[in-house]
Structure 1
Amino acid sequence: MATEAPDTAFDEQQFEAIYPTGVERHYWNICRNGVVADAVRSVGPGPVLEVGCGKGLIVADLRARGIDIIGVDLAPVKPLDSVKDHVRTGVDLFDLDPSELVRFRTILLLDVIEHIEDAAGFVARIRAFLPEVRNFIVTVPARQELFCNYDEFNRHFRRYDLATVRAHLDPGGDRRWKASYFFHLLYPAAWLVLRLKGRRETRYNVPVSWTSRMIHRILAVLFRLDHALLPARWKGTSIIATVSDR
């Protein structure tokens, strides 16, 4: 991902650490992609713009599901070949011609706003720049007590709770709002690892063998059920929120 500030944009080292080739097969990404796809469908039809799309992992996944989406990212990284015609990298959203973006009604900010010091101001700036947008779908890392070396490596300013997400997306409290923690079952494991080791890995291990791929698919299903069945307010390691104009 990247934001409007160059010092918060990922460099190649960070991209390769958390988005190595094949990372789309990791259970975390499989699960998050599904959760995001459900949220996009819930706001109704219409083209989607992902801001901070990185190499285009989500763009590729959602397009494969039949969703009309393009992405833009500040970092000058190479997009995935499968979506190179639908992703623009090395460009700031606010440098684009807004007349080219009037068709978009939904913005995705997926693990983006935690990288921005003034997240509420950033969202407000997007609203002013693209007044036709009606929906924001956002994911963020959750629970400040889990803040650690991984967040520092990725230049996070914070981890979120539900109240802080709403304060940054809908400070007036006058929009339709839905939010939930997810990866509930990861929370106790992450908490315990930090208490015992004081740090966590900063790289993703990509499943390569058939066996490891199957394990990751099974885990992804487990965490989708975790999100679907457990109470939204139960602590998890991530949050997904949808904010829509009334």
Structure 2
Amino acid sequence: MELSNRVALVTGGGSGLGEATVKRIVNNGGKAVILDLQEERSLALVEKVGTENAVFVKTNVTNDEEVQNAINIALNHFQKIDLLINCAGIATPNRVVSRKGAQNLSEFTKVIEVNLIGTFNVIRLAAEAMFSNEPNENGERGVIINTASVAAFDGQIGQAAYSASKGGIVAMTLPIAREFANQGIRVNTIAPGLMKTPLVGTLPDEAIALLESQVPFPSRLGKPEEYAQLVTSLIENPYINGETIRLDGAIRMQPK
């Protein structure tokens, strides 16, 4: 599917991986609807890429009504939804049992709710809208791309909740791709490694250097623009479906 004249929902689109994705979509002739809770950053991004190319809707991805509202605004503003890129997520590292005792169950539940259930929530509502699209020459009505993590495969100590949430995203990719096949909607997942997001950027230089040394090649943090580049490739290649692709410089995370 070509990006030109396509409309994309991007969750977590106000910063990091989502921001880079929004910019790439617009630069390639598409339109973007940013679903995020970061109002200031998201509105600044809309101004940067042009109000005719993007719109921001403050959205909690775990809330049915807010996600449906965002979809309705996208349909009213751009008349259709062709693409969904799920980048929204949280990470709250915590040991299952620490010196303070057993992990609070609500902390585990929150990560699962945002990362896994939130991703599923947006998929189900966006896909329903995509079902009404006219198929292109390849029979495609839409493309969905989710964001997992290498933690789904190489979870470290303290990442039980995060790894479980991202592993769930990986696990549901194939069954959803199979279900949506007869509607011409492809579903894929990207599992990034160590990426240079705003959160990582706040770390001291020594800490960043240590992280970079763990990556075989290239020995550096991944760039959000490289994530966006892979998003573009998955959208444009009609034969990639039901797949999870690691974007990690060949890193395999150690226990801690």
Name the TM-score class by shorter chain. 0.3 to 0.5
The alignment's TM-score, normalised by the length of structure 1, stands at 0.44
Bigger relative contact order (CA 8 A; separation at least 6): 1
